[in-house]
Structures are given as C-alpha cells and as structure tokens.
Chain A
Amino acid sequence: MITNIALLFFGVSTLLFLSKIFRVRNLATKFVGVNSVTSIVCVIIVIISIFYDEKSYINIAILYSLVSFISNVVIMKILRK
C-alpha cells in the first residue's frame, strides 16, 4: 500500500517532467528534465526489483545511470559547438 503511494508519486512526477520537456523550447532545459527523469527511472527500477524480488535489476539501474551520465556529457559537448 505505502509502496504503491510512492510509485504513484514517482509516476505523476515523471509525467509532469515529460509534459514540460515536450512543451519547452530551450534545448538545455529539455536535457535537464531528461536528467531528472533518468534519476526517477533508476529509483523505480530499484523499487520494482525489491518488491517483485528480481535482484538482478539493480545492475541494470547502475548501468542505466552511468550511460545516462555519459550521454549527457556527449550531448553537452555537441551542443557547445
């Protein structure tokens, strides 16, 4: 029950971030929002891995956060040119 409330908050937060990402025109603001969404997705993966007893998902979450960091740095390098 409490976990469902937390997941509901995370889901609504993700939708709010995505709604702003699609509406905003500035490209840097879009990527700041995407960065937040990736953090929320990591937390959701860990919650699912604990409460559905799939212990291997935590490796996916760690890899996902590292890949999102690398992609953010690459995007910054591209946008700076």
Chain B
Amino acid sequence: MLDFIGYFFLVSGSLITFIAAIGFTKFKGFFNKVHASGINDVFGCLVSLIGLVFLDGFSSYSLKILLLILVILLTSPTSTYALSLLNSNKENYDE
C-alpha cells in the first residue's frame, strides 16, 4: 500500500513538473513564467519527494529527505521572490 502511494506521488509530481515546464516555455511575460516556475518548485518537486519518502519507508534516510523538503520549501520560493522583485521595477516585462 505504501509503495502504491509512493509511486502515485512520484508520478504525479513528475507530471506536474512537466506541465510547469510546458507553461514556462509557452507563457508570455515575466511574471507568468515566475508562476510556472513556482508551481514546479513548490508543488512538483515536493510531491515527488514526499512520494520518495513513502517509497523508502520511514527511516533515518526519510528524515533526510524531509530535511531536503524543508530546505527546498524555504529557499526556492524565497529566491524566486527575490528574482521577481528584481524585475518588478523594469518597464519591459515581456521578452
């Protein structure tokens, strides 16, 4: 049962990442791209890592994966926010 949940989360996360990559490629404008990138960082990768926790079972290694989830959850939106703040004063948003 845990394997099934793990594989479900892993494939769901990879699919979300793939959809976010398509959005990053297709969207016009800077902030739309930031939105697609944020979905990948906060949702796709973290769902995949939660699936890997279920696949590995609950051990010390899973605690390290949970630590990695915490690190990504704290750092990745922060750096995305900082980079979007950098571009917020520019007049030309599109490319």
A residues neighboring B (CB under 8 Å): 2-3, 5-7, 9-10, 12-14, 16-17, 19-20, 24-26, 28-29, 31-33, 35-36, 39-40, 42-43, 46-47, 50, 55, 58-59, 61-62, 65-66, 68-69, 72-73, 76, 79-80
Contact = CB atoms under 8 A, between A and B. Distances in A.
A65 B71 contact: yes
B24 A36 contact: yes
Specify which of B14, B67, B76, B84 lies most central, judged by the most chain A CB atoms within 10 Å of its CB: B14
A32 B82 contact: no
A50 to B, nearest CB: 6
B40 to A, nearest CB: 5
A40 B45 contact: yes
A20 B25 contact: yes
